[in-house]
Structure 1
């Protein structure tokens, strides 16, 4: 199940996509400026000028925001050619919005083993830290095959990861999907390793083991390798379980297909 937002109207969502991840991080806490390069993606779906947040993205080059392809590939069917990104701690209509065009991977969804769930938003101007004239810091990308190397060394299983997003929140283990609540804040949470596949990094978001994770609206958001202050993004939120409390399934950024796609847009890779 993709983790798009259900901030949009119910009627629009029924026609738009099978609901994925929305508001924000589960069993987490407010990001409070620790990841200023993570922003909320929004669009004017109803033509009124009101922007509806639907996914999360990360600034990886001065005018390039990284997100998931499934956050972008449905937009043409709604006549959406412009996506907006805001980097405020809380999403609302008073935010500073940076407009841009979008490019999902052209081979998205054509191969189950590697669905290439990656895309970018090409901003028209370089975003600044809210309320300042200072450019936002860029997230760092991993070396080729970094996760494979850590696995081969036997150290991947001991790593901590940090998920960040504007999606829906969950604060109780009970009540199934009824416990998922709307949210407009950028939140973060720590996670532990579960498994590594050719295209996927699977992380625990089981609160019974002390983990949290992503939920609807966090799609496309980053998973940083390391603790709460880390800026090394190694995967992006793609999917997970329906009630947002078991497993995050995240698209890897250290693979040849991900790196080849990003290099087209001038993103510097180590």
Structure 2
């Protein structure tokens, strides 16, 4: 495990000690370029030996509001720095804001409150925020069968697909915004599960993409229906995502943005 993965393990120990393992990176995808300029990276204060800076992902949902995962923050954290560069480099513009996790978050992997926002003092100019879903959208699509054939697009700044080698897997970080398409797996009251199995043509998330978006639709979609939370350690099977159309998510987000 490299230094960035160690940073995640230290900051997110509550998540790592549960039954499922966290999934934080785009796998079997491609560079996003400027397709989703509203997707940004949370930036650490210093670089590590692999040259990496981004440690989690998220999405602009209003000119002053950026949504991510609560487990991307440290205890007592009050501010966060965000870059919207398609590939982050030292010196790129950073937007500093107030980091606000859901107060009900209790650091459990299955916690239905693993959501946070970064609230900027000034609007982010030149970037159109993503659209949020209406209440119960995924339930309605599940009821009419649409979810079974739906495409979902994940985006984030995390590791590329891990490579097997002596001593285990190697994770590669480029601080580049990537995207991948996955297919529907399952829906619960809190979670959206997506297939990211490359054997079926799917891609998804891995280390570094926590808090990043899952858009309903193809590569150009801006309809943000869930955020990446966890998955399998090999980043090859399932992307487990926090639904944003539930009453719990909407109660929290409604404190900061107007909801559809």
- Give the TM bin, normalised by the shorter chain: 0.7 to 0.9
Q: Partner of 1:205 in structure 2?
A: 196
Q: Determine the structure 2 residue equivalent to 1:132.
A: none
Aligned partners of 2:102 and 2:252 also within 8 Å? yes
Counterpart for residue 248 of structure 1: 239
Count of paired positions: 249
Q: Secondary structure at the match of 1:178?
A: strand
Give per-residue Cα distances to partners, 1:143-169, cap 9 Å, x unaligned.
100000001001111000000000000
Task: Give the alignment of 1:164-175 within 5 angstroms.
Answer: 164-170=155-161
RMSD: 2.5
Correspondences of 1:1-80 after superposition (within 5 Å):
8=4, 10=6, 12=7, 15-18=10-13, 20-22=22-24, 24-44=25-45, 52-72=53-73, 74-76=74-76, 80=77
TM-score by length of 2: 0.87
Distance 1:67 1:243 in 2: 22
Q: How does 1:25-174 map to 2 (within 5 A)?
A: 25-44=26-45, 52-72=53-73, 74-76=74-76, 80-109=77-106, 114-128=111-125, 135-170=126-161
Structure 1 residue 224 displacement after superposition: 0.1
CA distance in 2 between counterparts of 1:67 and 1:218 reads 10
Q: Which stretches in structure 2 are left out of the alignment for 5+ residues?
A: 17-21
Distance of 2:107 and 2:5 partners within structure 1: 29
**Distance verdict in 2 for CA 1:200–1:13, change over 3 Å:** closer
Structure 1: how far apart are the matches of 2:223 and 2:150? 13
Q: Per the alignment, in what secondary structure is the counterpart of residue 181 of structure 1?
A: coil
Structure 1 residues 181-220: Cα deviation after superposition (integer angstroms, max 9, x where no partner): 2221000000000000010000001000000110111000
Structure 1 spans left out of the alignment, 5+ residues: 129-134
Shift of 1:17: 3.3
